[in-house]
Each structure stands twice: as structure tokens, then as C-alpha cells.
Structure 1
Amino acid sequence: MTLITLSPLRQLGAATTLALAIGLPALAQAAEPAPALELPTQKGTVSLEDLKGKVVLLDFWASWCGPCRQSFPWMNDMQAKYGDQGFEVVAVNLDQDENAAATFLDQIPANFTVAYDAEGKTPEAYEVMGMPSAYLIDRNGNIHSQHIGFHNDRKESYEEDIRSLLSAAQN
């Protein structure tokens, strides 16, 4: 018998994928530090280290992703609703062609931080398994939960997770 050992982040992804496949919400695991991130934006750079103390929704997306078109208006709403409470959306574009991302953003503007990783190093560190993939990171820089895809019928649950983390005390 062969035993396959998965990293904790891969375990989280595998458990979440299984949960989604059988119709359960994304799973929360024991807190694990989010991998470091420092990426270019249109206004400079964004770093998770600089965002410590905030609740961060880190979203990986691409211009060709249909569910991403549905998630952007919701992320705009969440940023507007909770931004003054210490919530920050950071959407990492993975398109190799920056014109494709620009066209998407012309059609569906983002009122939150958009970072760019055409080389795909960040999704590799997060072991992203589908588009879009979102990671909810607590004020201490730990991954609280993740979800793959965007499901309109789960928006309430996603928002409840955000509210819960915003109301939690920082350690």
C-alpha cells in the first residue's frame, strides 16, 4: 500500500475540493500561515506582510474565467461594505497577456487591489487547484478558509466568514 503525504495547504485544498464535490461549504482547517506574497499592481506593489492586521480575501483569477465575472461585483460589494472595518480584497491576475486582463477590467471594473502574476509563482505557493480560488486570511496572516469557484448560492456563507473574522480579536 502506498501512502501519499500532502502538505497542510494541499490537504486543505483536497478537503475543500471533496466538500464542494459533495455539496458542502468550504472547510476551515487549523490556522496555517499564508505563503508570502509581494506582487506588482497598477499603483506599486502589494504585500501580505503589509496587510497584517487586516482580513484579506486573496482571489486568484484570469480573464477567461466565467465565474470570475460573477465574483468581481460581489468582491466590489464586500470591499465597499467592510473596507472601513479592516477588510481588503486582493485579486491576483494570472493572465500571461496583460491586455486580456485590461479588457476584462474595462468590462468589469475592480474597486479593490488587483495584482499581477503572469509567471504563476503565487498560485504555485498556494497550490491553487481551480479558477477562481479565494483564500480568506485572518488579521494574523493565517489562512482561515478557501473556496474554489464562485457560487452565488454561497455568497451569504462567504460573507458570514468575513464578518466573523472582522469581529475576532487579533492575537
Structure 2
Amino acid sequence: MNLPRYAAVAAVSLAGLLASAGHDLTPARADDSNAGSVKLERLSWSDFQKRIASNTQAKWTVVDAWATNCGPCKENFPHLVELHKKYGSKGLAVVSLSLDDPTDEKAVADAEKFLKEKKATFTNVLLSDDSGDGFDKLNISAIPAVFLYGPDGKEVKRFTMDDPNNQFTYEEVEREVASRLADGKASN
């Protein structure tokens, strides 16, 4: 491995991410001055993946895929807010990933309004590019869907509604998060 070249590429990549990032994935802190702000950040699929992979501030990252036209997503969203409140200061980064159509101004406005109503003061992302359907990119057929990423930025667990006979609950997500944070386990 050519370490100087690798370091240079990593530095350029990180600089690009920081320059394009309005919000990082830093876990919540008690003294967080942005604790009350809610923002819906537009990111391409590629930039979203880079952001997750480069997250070095959090021990674990939970990504919740949702949309404003999904009743179960909106009904269960308060569980995501609670995860952030309960575990954000313990090293959990929480990300909501809106799969709303970025070209539909009403859907985007509805998403922003919903996030503010729910006090979603964590990272909120709207896939913004022409990179294809979010469902295909995430390899899911239904939402809500929740993904748990380890400290190395790799997906370690997914909770989906794909199988009608095996629907996840947010209580299962919380148990998994609590377990991973307690023992630092990075593998399945």
C-alpha cells in the first residue's frame, strides 16, 4: 500500500465531505449548540454513502429510511427521535433518510415540516440526485427500514418490512443498539 498516496486521497475526500456537509454525523452532546435546529440536507447517493463510511465521531450509526407518504414511517418516527435522545450522548449517530421525490416541492416541504414537528434535531438527509431509486440503492421493497452501521462505517444489521411474515419493531432496533453500545461489538 502506498501510504502517502492513500493519506492524500483520504484527506482530499474528507475535505470534500466537510465542504459539502452542512451537518456531520457527530453524536449528540449535552452542550450541543445546534440541539434545537432541524435541517433537511440534500445529498447524492454517493455522498450519503461516503458520509456514513467516513463517520469517525460515532460508535454506531442508525439510518431510518422513510417518506412522507408512508403512514407507518410517520407513525414510528418518534421512536427514532427517542433513540437519539436516549443514546446520542452515548455514541449513537441517528440519521433519517427521506426517500421523498426531491423534485416534488410539496413533498420536500412536507418532509421539512414533519421533521420540525417531530423535533428531529439529528442528521436528516433527502436523496437529491438522479442516481436511481432509493429503494433499489438500499435493496429494500418497503419502508420504514432501519440500518445499523458499525464504527467502521459498514452495515452490520438491517431491519426491514420486506417480509410480511417478519416485520421488525423499533423495540428490536433499540435492543440491538443498546447491546452494541454496551459491548462495542462490530460484527453480526
TM-score (norm: length of structure 1): 0.64
**RMSD of equivalent CA atoms:** 3.2
- Bigger Rg over Cα: 2
Aligned counterpart, 1:32: none
Aligned counterpart, 2:109: 99
The alpha-carbon deviation at position 123 of structure 1 amounts to 4.1
The answer to whether 1:50 aligns with 2:60 is no
1:72–1:110 CA contact under 8 A, matched in 2: no
Alignment of 1:18-167 (within 5 A): 42=39, 47-52=51-56, 53-96=58-101, 97=104, 98-119=108-129, 121=132, 122-149=134-161, 154-167=169-182
Alignment of 1:10-21 (within 5 A): none
Equivalent position SS for 1:139: coil
**Aligned partners of 2:179, 2:159: CA distance in 1, in Å?**
16
The more displaced of 84-93 and 94-103 is 94-103
One-letter identity of the residue aligned with 2:115: L
**Aligned partners of 1:148, 1:39: CA distance in 2, in Å?**
28
**Aligned partners of 1:40, 1:68: CA distance in 2, in Å?**
25
Consecutive unaligned residues of structure 1, counting only runs of 5 or more, are 1-36
TM-score (norm: length of structure 2): 0.59
Consecutive unaligned residues of structure 2, counting only runs of 5 or more, are 1-16, 24-38
Q: 1:43 to 1:99 in 2, by over 3 A?
A: closer
**Aligned partners of 2:89, 2:184: CA distance in 1, in Å?**
16
**Aligned partners of 1:135, 1:48: CA distance in 2, in Å?**
11
The alpha-carbon deviation at position 105 of structure 1 amounts to 2.4
Tell me which of the two structures has the higher relative contact order, counting C-alpha pairs closer than 8 angstroms and 6 or more residues apart. 1
> What percentage of aligned pairs have identical amino acids?
25
